[in-house]
Structures are given as structure tokens and as C-alpha cells.
Amino acid sequence: MGLDHAATKPHEQLAAHLAGKMDAVNALIRARMASRHAPRIPQVTAHLVEAGGKRLRPMLTLATADLCGYGGGYDVHLAATVEFIHTATLLHDDVVDESAQRRGRPTANLLWDNKSSVLVGDYLFARAFQLMVEPGSLRVLDILANASATIAEGEVLQLTAARDLATTEDIYLQVVRGKTAALFSAATEVGGVIAAAPEEQIKALFDYGDALGIAFQIVDDLLDYQGDTSATGKNVGDDFRERKLTLPVIKAIAAANTQERTFWTRVIEKGDQRDGDLEHAIGLLNTHGALDQTRQEALEWAAKAKTAMAALPEHPVRQMLLDLADYVVARIN
């Protein structure tokens, strides 16, 4: 039985193992997203925070701290910090992408407006910085502040590269490391730092989070062309309609003939999309094996994440994190 069909999935096992800590994280999130003067802030935040997400990133912080033997309480603050940063970026992303759906529900910018989403996102970033200061660790502050800057940098790079057919796989990877993997690796790294783990283990936790985040994003990009809307919470072809140059498309363009390149120029660079274009695009992805190649790269990054865990001590959480790497790619396996 594959992990995707297992009775208890790895993230559910983590959630059960960390239930007490996650309750504390959720209570802290609710407390810190409150606003005495602007009731719209908790309204907008609650719409996204309570939308049924897996809380994967904060769980990674709690899990890695536990794995490294941490016995204090500041892992809760750092986990809440990670979730606030993630939520802030989602609010901003939905405005930039003009998205109408997130986790199967209308986006905040659709229910309220773009201004509210941007400003509430800014508020959550500020709350995140308040939280990350409280453990009193300059190294933790450095890691999470750098991650916040890297995320923004990745999003801006994506704006300039997303509709340029000259975008390479190296640039794509740089975008993914910024917009997705940076927060995964920061979440896992600070767990080791707060636990005062050996440097070899902290580096291994960073490498695990980095590879897991890259695999996670590649799978997401792949499912945009062959996923199930009811399972993913997003419409098939959203990236195509938003003219994003994700890995499958970059691979297909690299193999394209003159006629196919003209098609990609029209639909991606010029934004002239017509009925049947999505189906034609998927046909080209299949013709050139771009979907299969992308799937293979996701599997390779998941394997790198598992390899990184070899430096960590034997612990129930270690196996859960290994299983999580498999689970991230289970939907395309």
C-alpha cells in the first residue's frame, strides 16, 4: 500500500506525536493574530489559518527540535513564526497571482480586497518578527530573517522570469529555492539550532528541508497539469492560465520545434490564450516526456531529503520525516 493510501499518513503521525505542542502553537497563533483596533486583521487571517491546512511547516520546526532533544518551550514560538511567515506570503501571492481559490475556498483578496490582503500580510510579517525575537537567539533571528528576504526575492525573480521563454531550469530552481524551499529549510534548521544540536546535524536538517521543499514545489507544479481539483484544491491549468514557466513547460520548450515554440510564445509570453490551448499544451508536455522527466526530478529531490537524514539520531520522529519525504511525492508515484 502506498503512503498516499495509508491509513495514517506521515503528516498525521507527526501531528499526533506533536499534538500538545501543536495545540500550543495554534493558541499562540490565535493570540498573536488578534488586533484591538482593526478587526479585519483576525477575520482575514482566520479565513486562511483555519482553512484546514496541514500546518506542515510549523510541524517541521517542532519535529526537528524534538528529534534533537529540545526540552524547552521556544520551539512553539518558532513554529508560530514559521506559520505566520507562510500565511503572509500566501496572502501576498494570491494578490500577485490574482487567484480566486486557495485550499478549495475563495481567497481572502476575493472575499475582501487586495488592499486588505496585502496589509494583513504585512501585519503577520511584523508579528512573525516579534515572535522570532523572543527566544533571544541571534542565530535564529538571522535564519528566519534571511528566509523572509529570500522568499520575497524568489517571488520577484519569478515575476521577471515567469513569462520569459529564455528562463532556464537553473533559474527555475533558484525561484523554487526562494518561494518554497527557503521556509522549509529555515523551519527545519531552527529546530536544530534551538536544541543546540551539533553543527553536522543542523546542516543535515537544513539540507533535508531544502530538498523536501524543492520536491514539494515540483510536485505542485506537476499536478497543475495532471492533478485532481478536488484533491489539490486548485484548478488544473491555473499555472498555464497565469502564464507561469514551471518545470514541465521549461522542459517542453527546450525540446520544442519552431512551430511549438511559436505556440509557447503566443500563450506564455504574449498571453494570447484560446479555447483548446491548455489541452494542446498538455499534449506537448506528453510528447516530449516533460511530465515524466519532471516526476523523476521530484523523486530525486525526495531521495536527497532522505539521504540528509542519515546524520540525525535514531528517533521515532526521524522515521516520520523519512516517510514524509516519500509522502510528498506519493501523489505522482
Q: What fold is seen in the domain 10-330?
A: Farnesyl Diphosphate Synthase (1.10.600)
pLDDT per residue as tens digits for the range 96-105: 766 656 656 6
Query: Amino acid letter at 69?
Result: G
Q: Contact at 8 Å (CB) between 91 and 46?
A: no
pLDDT tops 70 at residue 231: no
Q: Of 229, 243, 251, which Cα lies nearest the Cα of 295?
A: 251
Residue 84 has pLDDT above 50, yes or no: yes
The C-alpha cell at 307 is: 539521504
Q: Give the position of cell 494578490.
A: 95
Q: Which alpha helices (H) appear in the chain, and where do they start and end?
A: 10-17, 19-32, 40-49, 56-67, 74-97, 108-111, 114-133, 138-161, 169-176, 182-194, 199-226, 229-232, 238-241, 247-254, 258-264, 277-287, 290-308, 316-328
Phi-psi region of 237 (alpha: psi -120 to 50; beta: other; left: phi over 0): left
Q: The pTM is what? A: 0.90
Predicted pLDDT at 118? 85
Q: How many CA atoms lie within 13 A of 181 on its CB side?
A: 24
Q: What are phi and psi of 268, to 5 degrees?
A: -100, -55
Give buried/exposed letters for 76-109 (b at 16+ CB in 10 A, else e): bbbbbbbbbbbbbbbbbbbbbbebeebeeeebbb
Question: 10 Å Cβ neighbour count for 146?
Answer: 12
Nine-digit cell string for 72: 524547552
Structural contact between residues 14 and 316, judged by C-beta atoms closer than 8 angstroms: no
Q: Is pLDDT at 54 greater than 80 in this prediction? A: no
Q: What is the predicted pLDDT for the residue at 129?
A: 92
Q: What percent of the chain has pLDDT over 90?
A: 65
Write the pLDDT tens digit of every residue in 191-201.
Answer: 999 999 999 99
- In the prediction, which pLDDT does 303 show? 98
The pLDDT score that the predictor gives to residue 59 is: 96
Three-state secondary structure call for residue 157 = helix
In terms of average pLDDT, the best of 83-87, 120-124, 197-201, 220-224 is: 197-201
